[in-house]
Amino acid sequence: MEKNGRRGFMGKAFGAVAAVGAVGSLVAMKKSWDPLPSVKAAGFTTLDMTVYKAGELVTEKWRGKPIFVLKKTPEMVAKQTEADKARDIIVNGEHYMIAIGLCTHLGCIPAYYPDEEGFICACHGGQFDFAGEVTKVPPPRGLDIPPFRIDGTKLVLGEVGPEYENMKENGVTL
């Protein structure tokens, strides 16, 4: 019986060594699933903020997602609510709405209606104002704001600047 005990031990010891190898292989396999460096490097888009016309929605692209860029007209700026002001992005003296163009309900792209100065999502009827705040359910929150950093007259999406950090801390965006 003592022999069997030792035999059992060696078998278990070998099993443990084999398990270490298996875990090592799993670590390597996990790394193989990771997004590729070229994918992560493509995760930055620079916008030239001098080209936008007031009141005109332009859709850019960042990390494969649509990005709404709307330069606010002076009338829009004047009628901003407190919530709207919190999401306002100011570059070189001009006011912009910049948001990920996906409805926060289930991800469809809301359409912009310039006459109404607002967005309507065709999927379930959710609505947002020109600043990205929810004006009609079902979306649970305003349009998400992508990480951004202001660099003179340029805006880099994917990098984090103090204005974005502020917005995150204050719960303006997720």
DSSP output for 104-170 = TTT-PPPEEETTTTEEE-TTT--EEETTS-EEESS-SSSPP---EEEETTEEEETS--HHHHHHHHT
Q: How far apart are CA 154 and CA 49, in angstroms?
A: 5
**Residue 172 DSSP label:** S
Q: Which is nearer to other proteins, 33 or 78 (CB)?
A: 33
33 binds other proteins (CB under 8 A): yes
**Residue 98 DSSP label:** E
38 binds other proteins (CB under 8 A): yes
64 binds other proteins (CB under 8 A): no
51 binds other proteins (CB under 8 A): no
Q: Which is nearer to other proteins, 34 or 115 (CB)?
A: 34
Could you tell me which stretch among 34-42, 74-82, 84-92, 95-103 binds other proteins (CB under 8 A)?
A: 34-42
6 binds other proteins (CB under 8 A): yes
Q: Which residue carries 């801390």 as its tokens?
A: 169
152 binds other proteins (CB under 8 A): no
Residue 123: CB minimum distance to other proteins, A: 30
Q: Which is nearer to other proteins, 48 or 115 (CB)?
A: 48
Residue type, 121: C
Q: In this chain, which of 23, 25, 107, 111 binds other proteins, going by CB under 8 A?
A: 25
Q: What angle do CA 68, 49, 167 make, to 5 degrees?
A: 60
H or E element that contains 79: none
Residue 41 has, within 13 A of its CA and on its CB side, a CA count of 3
Q: In this chain, which of 1, 31, 140, 152 binds other proteins, going by CB under 8 A?
A: 31
Residue 24: CB minimum distance to other proteins, A: 7
The contact set with other proteins (CB under 8 A) reads 3, 6-7, 10-11, 13-14, 17-18, 20-21, 24-25, 28-29, 31-34, 36-38
